[in-house]
Structure 1
Amino acid sequence: MTKLLDLCELIVDCEHKTAPKSSDGYPSIRTPNVGRGRLILDGVNRVDEDTYIKWTRRATPAENDLIIAREAPVGNVAIVRKGQKVCLGQRTVLVRPDPNKVDPEFLCYFLLGDYAQNSFLSAATGATVPHLNMSDIRGLSIPALPDRKKQRWIATTLAAYDDLIENNTRRIEILEEMARRLYEEWFVQYHFPGHEGVEFKESELGLIPEGWEVVALEKAVEINPKTKVERDGEKVFVPMGALSESGMVISGWEIKSGNSGAKFQNGDTLVARISPCLENGKTGFVDFLPANQPTACGSTEFIVLRSRSLCPEMVYCLSRSDRFREVAMKSMSGATGRQRVRVESLVGYPIAQPENELVAKYHAFAQPCFKEIRVLANKNANLRQQRDLLLPKLISGEIDVSDIPMPT
């Protein structure tokens, strides 16, 4: 046995205070940004140049460094990739493996394996939020490791899964960006096909195309529609944590009995109505319910939106628009930190209702994008499951890496 510190050039703690945020600049890695193997930069806090310099005085994270979450969740580990210029946020630890002693990528996956994770969890202390002490991280016992050649093979095999997941995630982002940009261009800027020959008229929203009309949101979108979900038996339940802050994909739903909470079906949009989830952008598109279970439940803190005269994809893009979110946030009331959107404030929210032909054209473009996003999200779920099944068996030597085909 050896200690983790013996395999590393340094292991340093983060600054024990909150870094001031900036609208742009360098990513500040907090525990939610430490994924299983890769950094999650979606929705990451950022810091300016001066803060970055101060927050990297102890050590500047570099390629092949590891970042460990000390809590929430305890023991998550990610590797810093080439070109990622980041600094440590609160409750994180920087680990710099000595490449002459251990393959950095292999060490990352080793620390995600059952042996290291069980050691981290058993060492974690704290009555309310379990956390790791620096002495427990530095003193983590490391058993005899395979030779460097086998380390590289294992790391390469597992990294192939993460690379595919990363590529699929990027494709998802591009597809959603295409749909949202076209929505913005056609229905906000009014640069739809043939707009050059269309007359515009005055309205309470300013100039809108002839043939369009300003309507209350409730006329175009059903808000919290009545949806029947059987009380008996187990069914899909979507918690708040299953919604993304920046994308449509809903993942991590649960299976529960009962039918309490918000109720919805495929094609609905879920919007967080509580602070700070709304401000953070938690929104999702329901597209994963099987034919034998067409309705489901979720958090009581969801607003459910269903298309009436638009199309489902337009409703989702509308819910992501700056103007809609601004109105929702301004309507919030309640105690500080637990404010909620007043749904009645959205009922009369004015929107420009396009002609049916243009709605159909947008639907014909956006629907295939949304369907492909769900296909890619399902592929990622399968890849993660395969990787997580392989990881402990490869690390422990139960499976010989030469017997494992690369994922495709």
Structure 2
Amino acid sequence: MPWCVSRLDGCMGNELTLAEVCDEIVDCVNRTAPEDLDGEYFAVGTPAMRGNVVNLSEARTITKETFVKWTRRLVPEPGDLLLAREAPVGPVIRIPEGGRYAAGQRTTHLRANPNVVHPRYLYYLLISPAVQLRIQAGAMGSTVPHLRVADVKSLRLPALPPLPTQHAIAEVLGAFDDKIAANEQVVIAGEDLMRSLVAVVATSVPVRELATHVTKSVDPTDFDKVVHFSLPAYDSEQDPVIEPGAAIKSNKFLIEQPCVLFSKLNPRFPRIWDVGNLPDLPPVASTEFIVLVPRSVSRSALWAALAQPEVSTTLVSYAVGTSGSHQRIRPAELLELAIRDVRDLPSSSRSLLDSAGSQVDATRRQSRALADARDELLPLLLSGRVSIGDLENVAASSIRS
């Protein structure tokens, strides 16, 4: 039942524009922030906003001085929003805690008016399918669709429910995201444990002694659907995407057995993907990955050896490219790189390593299920077709499972 005719104490009236529900709408500095590889701050541009989360591997690291310059018109606060208005149009992220995040190029900084709209409710409203359709419809440009700042300000939002209802909706949907965030901490702890178990190994061998480099490629258009292990999928919680084969215009590597994918791009932020149980649909990997099948070691052990800090440090010195975010390594360089020989680990450590790897995988799968449940509920909730009571029961059941 729509909010305006539901029993949930009415709605706040007619549609409002984004400008009418925000205290601040400030465009980014319209030039690229100077990158500093040792910077401890981040300029979050549109490439770093895929999946409506901050992907630091795609953000530009900047100095404190640059951060101050880039935020002089409005200093971001936790819970503020960034809206991507070009390349691509539409993603929205919430500014994390920490005070280190500036609006990057082609983004607009939003600060909700809490007397009109709950900030987290506004986030969910902006990423909802209905509002995303409005955003896409307002995008201009035949070659590269984009929004002007004026378009952002004039974006019309569906009628808002009362603030208490907004708060309840934000809390229920936020419970999913909070559990996903808690799971991410479990994943981080598990991966830290895996790295620490391998860090004690004193002997080294080339990667090629522990893994076989697989280069078999296929044309995805030969298949009706494929499961695509891409860089954007990695950045979106390592969640491969089912895509029509016809929608993929270039050859991909065929994944025929469990493996570890190692990204060639930007080794300063390593992307190392432990691919375990294969899906029923044909799995394919971006050619930006190096496909490694473990030899005489487990996938978790190979992952942990490749994830040692010195691997990234060494590969950064090998990388070629015009900037930090566009540098690449060559497969031959990775295969000859010396990594810790995990075959020398005692059996108890190998067992603990594999157990930690399994827990990391299970936790990620739970997070994907939570995200799917949230995404299914979001449009029902925002349209008022699901009551707060129904939603709270579903959320509690999903999060306990």
TM class, shorter-length: 0.7 to 0.9
Displacement of 1:55: 1.0
Aligned to 2:109: 94
With over 3 angstroms needed to count, the CA separation of the structure-2 counterparts of 1:229 and 1:363, relative to structure 1, is: farther
With over 3 angstroms needed to count, the CA separation of the structure-2 counterparts of 1:297 and 1:360, relative to structure 1, is: farther
Aligned equivalents of 1:37 and 1:340: distance in 2? 26
Q: Which one of the candidate residues 259, 264, 272 is aligned to 1:268? A: 259
Aligned to 2:35: 21
Give 2:85's aligned amino acid: R
C-alpha contact 1:265 1:286 (8 A) present in aligned 2: no
Aligned to 1:250: 238
C-alpha contact 1:55 1:88 (8 A) present in aligned 2: yes
Displacement of 1:165: 1.0
Aligned to 2:12: none
With over 3 angstroms needed to count, the CA separation of the structure-2 counterparts of 1:347 and 1:80, relative to structure 1, is: closer
Displacement of 1:267: 3.9
Displacement of 1:81: 4.8
Q: Which runs of 5+ in 2 are unaligned?
A: 1-14
Aligned to 2:351: 364
**Is the deviation greater in 251-260 or in 374-383?**
251-260
With over 3 angstroms needed to count, the CA separation of the structure-2 counterparts of 1:244 and 1:61, relative to structure 1, is: closer
Give 1:262's aligned amino acid: F
Displacement of 1:332: 6.5
Aligned equivalents of 2:153 and 2:184: distance in 1? 33
Structure 2 residue 21 is matched with structure 1 residue 7: yes
Among all aligned residue pairs of Structure 1 and Structure 2, give the percentage whose two residues are the same amino acid. 27
Map 1:248-397 onto structure 2 (within 5 A). Answer: 250-254=238-242, 261-273=252-264, 276-278=265-267, 280-290=269-279, 296-325=283-312, 341-345=329-333, 348-350=336-338, 353=341, 358=345, 360-397=347-384
Aligned equivalents of 1:257 and 1:144: distance in 2? 39
1:120-152 residue CA offsets vs partner (Å, 9 max, x unmatched): 100112233221111111011234311111111
Map 1:55-94 onto structure 2 (within 5 A). Answer: 55-81=70-96, 83-94=98-109
C-alpha contact 2:228 2:242 (8 A) present in aligned 1: yes
Q: CA RMSD in A?
A: 3.5
With over 3 angstroms needed to count, the CA separation of the structure-2 counterparts of 1:396 and 1:366, relative to structure 1, is: same
C-alpha contact 2:44 2:60 (8 A) present in aligned 1: yes
With over 3 angstroms needed to count, the CA separation of the structure-2 counterparts of 1:311 and 1:70, relative to structure 1, is: same
Aligned to 1:171: 186
Aligned to 2:129: 114
- SS of residue paired to 1:34: helix
Displacement of 1:169: 1.3
**Is the deviation greater in 279-288 or in 220-229?**
220-229
Count of residues in Structure 1 that have an aligned counterpart in Structure 2: 375
Q: Which one of the candidate residues 149, 156, 170 is aligned to 2:171? A: 156
Aligned to 1:221: 211
Aligned equivalents of 1:346 and 1:377: distance in 2? 27
Aligned to 2:227: 236
Give 2:383's aligned amino acid: S
1:316-369 residue CA offsets vs partner (Å, 9 max, x unmatched): 22333455456656666899999865544555555564665x253332011111
Aligned equivalents of 1:78 and 1:333: distance in 2? 31
1:25-69 residue CA offsets vs partner (Å, 9 max, x unmatched): 333222244366654446643322211221111111124322211
TM-score for both structures, normalised by structure 1: 0.79
- SS of residue paired to 1:223: strand
Displacement of 1:93: 0.7
TM-score for both structures, normalised by structure 2: 0.80
With over 3 angstroms needed to count, the CA separation of the structure-2 counterparts of 1:239 and 1:137, relative to structure 1, is: same
Q: Which runs of 5+ in 1 are unaligned?
A: 191-207, 209-213
**Is the deviation greater in 276-285 or in 103-112?**
276-285
Structure 2 residue 118 is matched with structure 1 residue 103: yes
- SS of residue paired to 2:89: coil
- SS of residue paired to 1:77: strand
C-alpha contact 2:39 2:64 (8 A) present in aligned 1: no
